[in-house]
């Protein structure tokens, strides 16, 4: 798999704050060309300057002042006013036991989210809320409100880098959900607007254009995310999970990653397309997880594949009653102390399978109920069998 086509995803460790270094920031530096995820390691109140209040509403300009602005400026101002209240700051905190003191919640990550519906569901990236400790807790801060409201995870889709939160204690949401648009008919060159919390600076608006369409990036689980939107709108660590809007204020994507030699904005950002979001989020709200097509097998690790000298991917276990079991595929079996018998998948629908990544790429383009032709090697002999894909979580 060409690394130029699918740059390696690396978490951005972002901004670290401690008592001795308030007012400064330190960032990890991904290698040049890497795709950096945009969740900061800790919410930032100051980065050498004041972050200001958490998205306090900006004063309305006078009618005379507003009339003096260009029509495109007035349209941008209105777009921000209409949508900013639905954009939230998310903080991930871990309970830390201090020596001879009571435990405290310490920030370990932050990002952006937005109000999805009137039920108070909040959409963000999976890597924003990915647990960094067993006792991680999540807090949401709304525009113009310094109160941190605890939230719980409703569902996650790591393969699509999406997640849904819900407030633990319901509150009246004085904001309307962002209008959901479509990513199917976007055009390179059209204007886009990103609202988020880069480096902890709440309610930041940046603008740009769509620079490219149909890009492909890798999720934190190394699954391919297709149809990704490329933009030159400035997005930085902390923007993860925030909305990318069209000129009508409709959601067309969720800001997710950047290509950067330093981990900060370098003119190339990526957003998960709205049509993917519309397909995934309702299922997360209803079921807490997203089903995807699969064979019903557990694969050997890359290390064991390499140790056994396999050219494809070996099957460690076939689940009972699964699609693979029905097709006749078998679990690994040991013969004596040094010999093993296994099925090694080498092709699916004529496409070579050299790694689990290759296998995921083929299956992610299918649906449960589709039949694929699986070619595997058993005892040195190649066999091909039809497998009717099943839903797995």
Residues that are catalytic: 127, 161, 240
Dihedral of alpha carbons 245, 246, 250, 253, sign: negative
Say if residues 229 and 244 touch (Cβ distance below 8 Å). yes
Distance CA(207)–CA(245), nearest Å, equals 9
Cβ proximity of 369 and 292 under 8 Å = no
Tokens encoding 223: 């699954």
Handedness of CA 114, 117, 119, 121 (dihedral sign): negative
* Residue 189: C-alpha distances to residues 119, 226, 240, 242 (Å): 35, 20, 23, 21
Residue listed under structure tokens 């909040």: 122
Q: For residue 18, what is the DSSP state?
A: -
CA–CA gap between residue 383 and residue 324 (Å, rounded):
14
What token pair was written down for 392?
A: 């797995």
Number of other CB atoms surrounding residue 254 within 10 Å: 28
Integer CA distances (angstroms), 73 to 68, 70, 247, 368, in order: 10, 5, 12, 48
Name residues whose C-beta falls within 8 Å of residue 263's C-beta, 6 or more positions apart in sequence: 12, 13, 14, 27, 28, 29, 30, 36, 237
Show Cβ contacts of residue 200 under 8 Å, excluding neighbours closer than 6 positions.
15, 40, 43, 44, 45, 47, 51, 89, 110, 238
CA distance 151 to 170: 10
CA triplet 228, 254, 244: central angle to 5 degrees?
100
Q: How many angstroms separate the CA atoms of 234 and 209, rounded?
A: 10
Task: Give the whole-angstrom CA distance, residue 351 versus residue 365.
Answer: 13
Q: Supply 114's token pair.
A: 């937005």
Query: How far out from the chain centre does Cα 57 lie?
Result: 28
């Amino acid at each position: 798999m060409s690394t130029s086509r699918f740059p390696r995803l690396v978490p951005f460790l972002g901004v670290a704050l401690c008592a001795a270094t308030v007012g400064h920031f330190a960032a990890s530096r991904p290698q040049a060309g890497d795709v950096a995820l945009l969740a900061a390691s800790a919410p930032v109140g100051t980065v050498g300057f004041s972050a200001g209040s958490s998205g306090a509403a900006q004063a309305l300009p006078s009618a005379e002042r507003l009339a003096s602005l260009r029509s495109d400026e007035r349209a941008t101002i209105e777009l921000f006013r209409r949508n900013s209240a639905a954009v939230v700051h998310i903080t991930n905190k871990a309970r830390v036991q201090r020596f001879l003191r009571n435990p405290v919640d310490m920030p370990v990550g932050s990002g952006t989210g937005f109000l999805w519906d009137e039920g108070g569901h909040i959409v963000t990236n999976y890597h924003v809320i990915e647990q960094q400790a067993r006792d991680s807790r999540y807090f949401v801060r709304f525009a113009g409100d310094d109160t941190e409201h605890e939230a719980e995870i409703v569902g996650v889709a790591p393969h699509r880098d999406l997640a849904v939160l819900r407030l633990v204690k319901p509150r009246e949401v004085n904001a309307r959900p962002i209008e959901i648009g479509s990513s199917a008919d976007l055009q390179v060159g059209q204007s886009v607007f990103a609202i988020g919390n880069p480096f902890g600076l709440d309610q930041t608006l940046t603008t740009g254009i769509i620079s490219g369409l149909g890009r492909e990036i890798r999720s934190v689980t190394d699954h391919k995310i297709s149809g990704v939107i490329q933009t030159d709108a400035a997005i930085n660590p902390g923007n993860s999970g925030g909305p990318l809007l069209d000129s009508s204020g409709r959601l067309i994507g969720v800001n997710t990653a950047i290509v950067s030699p330093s981990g900060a904005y370098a003119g190339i950002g990526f957003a998960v397309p709205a049509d993917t979001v519309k397909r995934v989020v309702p299922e997360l709200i209803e079921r807490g997880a997203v089903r995807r097509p699969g064979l019903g097998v557990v694969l050997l690790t890359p290390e064991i594949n390499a140790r056994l000298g396999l050219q494809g991917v070996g099957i460690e276990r076939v689940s009972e009653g699964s699609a693979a079991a029905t097709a006749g595929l078998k679990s690994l079996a040991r013969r004596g102390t040094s010999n093993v018998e296994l099925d090694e998948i080498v092709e699916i629908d004529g496409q070579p399978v050299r790694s689990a990544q290759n296998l995921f790429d083929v299956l992610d383009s299918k649906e449960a109920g589709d039949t694929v032709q699986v070619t595997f090697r058993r005892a040195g002999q190649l066999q091909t069998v039809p497998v009717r894909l099943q839903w797995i979580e």
